[in-house]
């Protein structure tokens, strides 16, 4: 292991396993869930349908989808004990930390908590996918001195989230924007959080523990926190006319510009192309094109100067902002979506498991003689 050419920093390009869940064609810049193009799914499907696809490997028929949606709607409530714990957390607790704590608490009360059978994990999957949005909105409203709003079983996952957040049932075009975003974020191969979840699952730990670990990985600004940084950057710039000088200065200072480039795509992120059109249409509908125009200007400059294209996080940030979603909830919303991919990978790991245990190249001191402490 002394040949440094064999060491892939950050495991870049390393194939660490087999999966039937997601295919990323980095050369053609295409993404597939279970063989279905992300373009077709974003255009024609719903988040619930995509969640079913990821969990079961096939698109549902009408009856199966209705049953699945009903199961999700019926599991949205969270225990009173968990609500009380959220209320007692220190002021300013990061929403991602609240999610980690909440998932751990849910494990203690889940009747299937310690079972790793397929049936038990599917039941746990339904509960977790359904309850995560409730935890996020309850925590946000409690932290901002507002009464939590109970979930509405009549609404879709996206509509219900916006309803619990704001107290008003959203217009269909707004919930559709969030729904499409959830589809785009649902799965993306062995990204950092998904790989973390699979490592935990490979020890035969439980599903809740794998999800908690994945949330911890997603919390980082180089992974799930990127869209928050993008919106903060746009707000700092403030106006279309200020974009060019801001970007030129940032590039001259070699600052990292969030939302551009991606580890696995040679050129464009196919999800970024889709969300860009969604944001454009949303801005036009709301009569507010400022954020899209700023983003387009930034894209033109960065692509011309650095050859980098925007990823999914870049345009999704302004989509959420236009929907009135607080910036602090951008990464938690990522969890609402990506938990479907995490669970799909965890169950796949359980079904063909081998403990994930890579090696490292040692670059420290060679053998040294021990010196007694009185002689040091």
Catalytic positions: 262, 313
CA–CA gap between residue 118 and residue 358 (Å, rounded): 27
Burial class of residue 264, CB neighbours in 10 A (0-12, 13-18, 19+): middle
Number of helices (H), then strands (E), belonging to the chain: the values are 16, 3
Contacts of 56 (CB under 8 A, 6+ apart): none
Strands 30-33 and 36-37: antiparallel
308 SS3 class: coil
Residue 220 corresponds to which tokens in the numbers above? 């980082």
Site of tokens 């992120």: 269
**Sheet strand arrangement including 30-33:** 22-25, 30-33, 36-37
Residue 114 corresponds to which tokens in the numbers above? 């310690």
The radius of gyration of the chain from alpha carbons, rounded to an integer in Å, stands at 22
DSSP class of residue 204 equals: T
């Amino acid at each position: 292991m002394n040949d440094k050419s064999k060491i892939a920093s950050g495991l870049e390009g390393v194939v660490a396993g087999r999966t039937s869940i997601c295919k990323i064609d980095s050369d053609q810049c295409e993404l597939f869930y279970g063989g279905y193009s992300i373009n077709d799914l974003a255009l024609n499907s719903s988040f619930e349908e995509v969640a079913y696809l990821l969990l079961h490997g096939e698109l549902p028929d009408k009856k199966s989808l209705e049953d699945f949606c009903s199961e999700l709607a019926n599991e949205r409530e969270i225990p009173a004990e968990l609500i009380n714990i959220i209320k007692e957390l220190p002021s300013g607790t990061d929403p991602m930390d609240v999610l980690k704590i909440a998932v751990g608490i849910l494990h203690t009360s889940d009747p299937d908590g310690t079972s790793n059978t397929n049936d038990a994990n599917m039941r746990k999957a339904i509960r977790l996918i359904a309850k995560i949005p409730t935890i996020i909105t309850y925590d946000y409203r409690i932290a901002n001195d507002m009464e939590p709003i109970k979930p509405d079983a009549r609404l879709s996952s996206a509509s219900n989230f916006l309803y619990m957040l704001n107290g008003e049932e959203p217009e269909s075009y707004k919930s559709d924007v969030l729904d499409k975003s959830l589809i785009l974020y649902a799965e993306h191969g062995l990204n950092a959080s998904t790989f973390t979840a699979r490592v935990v699952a490979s020890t035969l730990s439980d599903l809740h523990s794998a999800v908690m670990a994945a949330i911890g990985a997603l919390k980082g600004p180089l992974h799930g926190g990127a869209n928050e940084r993008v919106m903060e950057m746009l707000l700092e710039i403030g106006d279309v006319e200020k974009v060019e000088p801001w970007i030129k200065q940032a590039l001259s200072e070699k600052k990292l510009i969030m939302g551009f480039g991606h580890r696995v795509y040679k050129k464009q992120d196919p999800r970024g192309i889709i969300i860009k059109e969604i944001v454009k249409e949303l801005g036009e509908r709301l009569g507010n094109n400022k954020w899209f125009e700023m983003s387009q200007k930034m894209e033109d400059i960065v692509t011309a100067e650095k050859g980098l294209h925007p990823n999914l996080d870049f345009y999704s940030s302004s989509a959420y902002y236009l929907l009135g979603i607080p910036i602090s909830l951008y990464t938690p919303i990522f969890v609402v979506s990506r938990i479907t991919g995490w669970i799909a990978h965890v169950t796949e790991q359980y079904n063909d498991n081998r403990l994930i245990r890579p090696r490292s190249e040692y670059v420290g001191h060679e053998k040294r003689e021990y010196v007694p402490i009185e002689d040091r």
